[in-house]
């Protein structure tokens, strides 16, 4: 039985170790939050390339929209329609105010799909601005708005953004003067500085009473976005706005945030119906004290406020062996005056002090002082006890009045028409890759577009992923303690095989216990004396019981 317990202990230990290794690997590959995954469009699967092929074997064809679109851009051909800004950023030093950051059209540095090119931000610590007119303006009426594009932080990202702006339609819109103050309707995309990883969705809402615009920010996603900024992979960013005033933000076709334009924006679209009266003032006699000192309380006669909180312990005794005449510190006998010591400039040289070695073996050195203890007579300064305030009126707050600026916009989806798209960015990291922009109203169109572009990039990146062994080695480089688990995991199958499969050596006790004595037959004559001995034993036991009963009586 002991041996079986020992084997089961080993088996349980093996399961635990294998589970730990598996969990660690899965943790490296999984987001730290639940992500709602949407079904990939069935039609997009027809364009999938065999996952076993490498990037060199992929046949790339420039994506073509399959339905109505308002804008598309693949950057595979001539960069037509895009306009570089020629203006300057306001409220910025002149030496960096100009939008002179460089853009190039290039293939990806890693996991390249031959023939697939994108727009790349090339400059560091410079302002970049580039924009293009939509094929046709999008009017927020009864169709959803879907904005989708790809981003790859090829060098990681230190501080910078990769968001886009959908510019508001106006008669005086001039793309050559596109800058940070150019009116936009929607801003969407990733942004990061320091350890703050963001995914922006901002829309500018027009106040129907004043005509002024206010920025409304979507609440932050509940998942950790760090992976998308640091893994140097191409990620697909999608914003979906629906006429029912709801929105979704997706990364790689997985929903990372969703909500209502009426309920999940900061500040809210609609102001409160009532506000605090700015002219209301708290009355002079308003009493907000819930408790007050008891005015009838009197300090007791025996209350001594002069007693100290600590006194010397009169029962303390100086420890035996205390060295009263020895100082706690003495000059270092091994110290020597530096050769460059100038007594006229530096004064008389004195050896540095060190702990007195004689005090190390003694309970203490120097003048002994009685330790302090709490004073049992100490009461402190007397204060009257607190009682409920009979005049308490509560915490004062201004009265509520109707908000003169109140309005109710029940359909904030009806935003300002957009007719251009722009990237106005600052970055401390170069080689930010953008590709495959699409603005449409049908999810099927966006999914098919993604399959023909981002889908191929994803397959190539997956094909170029290191094998399981390389992933284990990489994980162990980040977490060296995993080497111990790897060794134990490899050793366990061998150990368990030996424990369960190798024949155990039988001891003499096992043989004597399990093996009956059948080496010779028992004859009838030998059996009779054994039976008589058993009968004699039974008679002796009965006599002992009778004698015990007589003794008790």
Q: What pLDDT is recorded for position 547?
A: 60
pLDDT, tens digit (0-9, with 9 covering 90-100), for 183-231: 999 999 999 888 889 999 999 999 999 999 999 999 988 888 888 988 8
Sequential DSSP letters for 388-431: E-TT------PPEEE-TT----S-TTS---EEEEEEEEEESS--
pLDDT, tens digit (0-9, with 9 covering 90-100), for 123-152: 999 999 999 999 999 999 999 999 999 999
Query: 363 vs 549, which has greater pLDDT?
Result: 363
Q: What pLDDT is recorded for position 468?
A: 64
Q: What pLDDT is recorded for position 438?
A: 97
pLDDT, tens digit (0-9, with 9 covering 90-100), for 473-497: 666 665 677 778 878 787 777 777 7
Q: What pLDDT is recorded for position 284?
A: 93
Are 435 and 108 contacting, i.e. CB atoms less than 8 angstroms apart? Answer: no
User: Hey, how many other C-beta atoms are within 10 angstroms of the C-beta on 461?
Assistant: 19
Are 38 and 253 contacting, i.e. CB atoms less than 8 angstroms apart? Answer: yes
Q: At what angle are helices 468-478 and 2-29 packed, to 10 degrees?
A: 90
pLDDT, tens digit (0-9, with 9 covering 90-100), for 309-325: 999 999 999 999 999 99
| pLDDT band per the 50, 70, 90 thresholds, residue 52 | very low
| pLDDT band per the 50, 70, 90 thresholds, residue 443 | very high
- The reply to whether omega before 398 is within 30° of 0 (cis) is no
How large is the average pLDDT for residues 532-545?
Answer: 60
Q: The whole model's pTM is what?
A: 0.63
Dihedral angle sign, alpha carbons of residues 322, 326, 329, 334: negative
Q: What pLDDT is recorded for position 292?
A: 95
pLDDT, tens digit (0-9, with 9 covering 90-100), for 244-290: 999 999 999 999 999 999 999 999 999 999 999 999 999 999 999 99
Are 151 and 141 contacting, i.e. CB atoms less than 8 angstroms apart? Answer: no
> Distance between CA atoms of 166 and 162, rounded to whole angstroms?
14
As a whole number, the mean pLDDT across the chain is 83
């Amino acid at each position: 039985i002991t041996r079986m317990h020992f084997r089961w202990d080993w088996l349980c230990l093996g399961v635990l170790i294998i589970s730990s290794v598996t969990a660690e690997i899965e943790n490296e590959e999984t987001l730290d939050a639940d992500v709602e995954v949407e079904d990939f469009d069935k039609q997009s699967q027809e364009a999938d390339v065999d996952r076993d092929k490498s990037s060199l074997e992929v046949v790339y064809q420039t994506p073509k929209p399959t339905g109505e679109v308002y804008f598309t851009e693949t950057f595979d051909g001539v960069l037509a329609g895009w306009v570089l800004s020629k203006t300057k950023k306001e409220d910025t030093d002149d030496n960096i105010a100009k939008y002179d950051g460089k853009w190039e059209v290039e293939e990806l540095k890693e996991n390249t799909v031959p023939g697939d090119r994108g727009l790349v931000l090339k400059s560091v610590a410079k302002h970049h601005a580039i924009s293009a007119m939509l094929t046709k303006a999008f009017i927020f009426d009864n169709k959803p708005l879907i904005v989708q594009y790809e981003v790859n932080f090829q060098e990681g990202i230190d501080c910078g953004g990769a968001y886009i702006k959908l510019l508001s339609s106006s008669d005086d819109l001039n793309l050559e003067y596109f800058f940070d103050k150019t009116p936009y309707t929607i801003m969407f995309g990733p942004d990061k500085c320091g350890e703050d990883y963001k995914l922006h969705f901002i829309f500018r809402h027009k106040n129907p009473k004043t005509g002024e615009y206010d920025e409304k920010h979507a609440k932050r996603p509940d998942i950790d976005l760090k992976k998308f900024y640091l893994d140097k992979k191409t990620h697909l960013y999608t914003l979906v706005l629906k006429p029912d005033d709801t929105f979704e933000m997706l990364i790689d076709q997985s929903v990372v945030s969703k909500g209502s334009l009426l309920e999940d924006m900061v500040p809210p679209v609609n102001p409160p119906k009532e506000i605090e009266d700015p002219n209301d003032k708290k009355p002079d006699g308003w009493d907000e004290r819930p408790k007050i000192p008891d005015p009838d309380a009197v300090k007791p006669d025996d209350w001594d406020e002069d007693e100290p909180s600590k006194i010397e312990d009169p029962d303390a005794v100086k420890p035996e062996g205390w060295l009263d005449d020895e100082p706690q510190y003495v000059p270092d006998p091994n110290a020597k005056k530096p050769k460059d010591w100038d007594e006229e400039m530096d004064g008389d040289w004195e050896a540095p002090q060190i702990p007195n070695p004689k005090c190390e073996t003694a309970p203490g050195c120097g003048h002994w002082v009685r330790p302090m203890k709490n004073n049992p007579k100490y009461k402190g300064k007397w204060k009257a006890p607190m009682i409920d305030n009979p005049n308490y009126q509560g915490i004062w707050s201004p009265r509520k009045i109707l908000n003169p600026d109140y309005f109710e916009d029940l359909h904030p989806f009806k935003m300002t028409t957009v007719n251009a798209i722009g990237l106005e960015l600052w970055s401390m990291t170069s080689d930010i890759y953008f590709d495959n922009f699409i603005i449409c109203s049908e999810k099927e169109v966006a999914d098919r577009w993604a399959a023909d572009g981002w889908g191929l990039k994803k397959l190539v990146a997956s094909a170029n992923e290191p094998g399981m062994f390389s992933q284990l080695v990489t994980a162990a480089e980040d977490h060296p303690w995993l080497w111990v688990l790897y060794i134990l995991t490899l050793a366990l199958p061998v150990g368990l095989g030996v424990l369960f499969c190798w024949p155990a050596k039988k001891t003499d006790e096992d043989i004597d216990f399990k093996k009956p004595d059948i080496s010779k037959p028992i004859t009838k004559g030998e059996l009779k004396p054994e039976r008589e001995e058993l009968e004699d034993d039974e008679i002796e036991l009965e006599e002992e019981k009778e004698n015990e009963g007589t003794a008790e009586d």
